[in-house]
Amino acid sequence: MTGTASTREVAGRTLVELGRDHPDLVVLGGDLNKSTFANLFGAAYPDRFFDFGPAEQNIVSIAAGMAASGKVSVVSTFAVFSTARPYDQLRVGVSQSNLNVKMVATHAGIITGEDGMSAHAIEDVALMCALPNMTVIVPADAVETAQVLRVVVERPGPFYVRLSRPATPVIHDNGFAFALGKAERVREGGDATVVACGIMVNTALEAAEALARLRVEVDANAQQGYRAEGLADRIRNEYGVSKSRASLIARQETSNFMANYIEASSRDAGIKKYQWYSARDSRTRPDHLALHGKIFSFDNPPITDTRTGARNNPMQDYRCRCRAKPVIS
């Protein structure tokens, strides 16, 4: 699969497929079955599909009763109505009871922006993670959603599957195999760790790409001897950030580049040590002032923040104006 697809629509279609192999699968909805695509299951298996109207407390307890009688109960409604509203029914009747109730919730997060804040499910993951026996899964795309639903239907116990409304990019190829409870590395790299779930995985991938592009721009800008100010305007235009943030990024990243450049060129010349040189004016932070004149090695930077214990070479700390004077031994 490539392009975009909505996880809720794939979930609706997958339930129809699963209904073929699983005669005990029942789907319970709350008057949102067109939006959740649960109506596809209803059309395929009318006797195993139940609509109770928007009465989510009732729905969850009924799902529990059916599960206690050997059914695999899928409850399909919006995330806001799947969690906070019937929370007590989930708590006592499903999770403490460890019954086969699968909450397949759509329209999660703030992606329902225009509907206003009552429609934004932002507490749902926290609520569901607090319940004993409850497994929470937030698939990243349509490919994963289809595989997750199969696992959820076939494994015993309560599950919460958090799906989204819009069509979002498909990031997994057909060789993907979902593994319950395991994080999946979707991009290699060594500078930073970004952890994401659900549709934010794609956003995080885009952010990683943008950061990689930014790194190239910063380096090129600095290598050509341009100042950070010119870069700030470009960052502002390209990444849509505020003026102050753009100039902060430009200064900080240029400064970082310079620090790395000095370190690398010193090493190239066989220099391993430097003398810390601070500006010694009213803006110099005391921790940095205390380092002035002392000799350190690039490999073992000093503590530059006594509160956090962070270690850095000059120009690596936020807005640091100190310099590393190479020491030739």
Partner 1 sequence: MQVIDDGGAIAETSTGRPVRMATPGGTATKDSDMREPMSAQQLTEVARRLRRHIVTMTAMAGSGHPGGSLSAVEIVASLYFRVLRHRPGEPTWPERDRFILSKAHACPVLYGALAESGYFPMTELTTFRKIDSRLQGHAHIKTPGVEMSGGSLGQGLSFGIGTALAARLDGRPTRTYVLLGDGECDEGQVWEAAMSAAHYRLDSLVAVVDRNGIQNDRFTSEVMELEPLPAKWRAFGWHTLEIDGHDISQVLAALDEATETKLKPTAIIAKTVKGRGVSFMENNPDFHGKAPSKEQLAQALEEIG
Site for partner 1 contains 66 (CB under 8 A)? yes
- Binding range to partner 1, per CB under 8 A, among 65-73, 111-119, 175-183, 265-273: 65-73
Instruction: Please classify residue 200 by burial: count the beta carbons closer than 10 Å to its beta carbon, then call 0-12 exposed, 13-18 middle and 19+ buried.
Output: middle
Cβ proximity to partner 1: between 89 and 304 the closer is 89
Q: Which long-range contacts (CB under 8 A, 24 or more apart) does 111-117 make?
A: 111/164, 111/165, 111/166, 111/199, 112/165
Judged by CB under 8 A, which of 1, 55, 119, 241 binds partner 1? 55
Q: Is 65 in the site for partner 1 (CB under 8 A)?
A: yes
Phi first, then psi, for residue 224 (nearest 5°) are: -80, 0
User: Helix, strand, coil shares of the chain as percentages rounded to 5?
Assistant: 45, 15, 40
Residue in 1, 35, 44, 58 binding partner 1, rule: CB under 8 A: 58
Q: Which residue's CB is nearer to partner 1, number 17 or number 51?
A: 51
Catalytic residue of the set 9, 17, 56, 188: 56
CA pseudo-torsion sign 96, 42, 9, 56: negative
Residues 212, 201: Cα–Cα separation, whole Å: 17
The one-letter amino acid code at 92 reads V
Q: Which stretch binds partner 1 (CB under 8 A): 64-72, 138-146, 178-186, 203-211?
A: 64-72
Residue 25's SS3 state is: strand
Q: Is 63 in the site for partner 1 (CB under 8 A)?
A: yes
- Told to judge if 114 belongs to the known catalytic residues of this protein, a careful annotator would answer no
Binding string, 24-53, against partner 1, x = CB under 8 A?
A: --x--------------------xx-x-x-
DSSP 111: G
Q: CB of 102 within 8 A of CB of 153? A: yes
Shortest distance (Å) from residue 54 CB to partner 1: 10
With binding defined as CB under 8 A, does residue 93 bind partner 1?
Answer: yes
Note whether 95 and 88 are within 8 A (CB).
Answer: no
**Binding residue (CB under 8 A) for partner 1 from 2, 4, 20, 88:** 88
Total residues at the site for partner 1 (CB under 8 A)? 30
Q: What residues are labeled active site?
A: 56
Query: Where do contacts with partner 1 occur on this chain (CB under 8 A)?
Result: 26, 47-48, 50, 52, 55, 57-71, 73, 88-89, 91-93, 96-97, 99
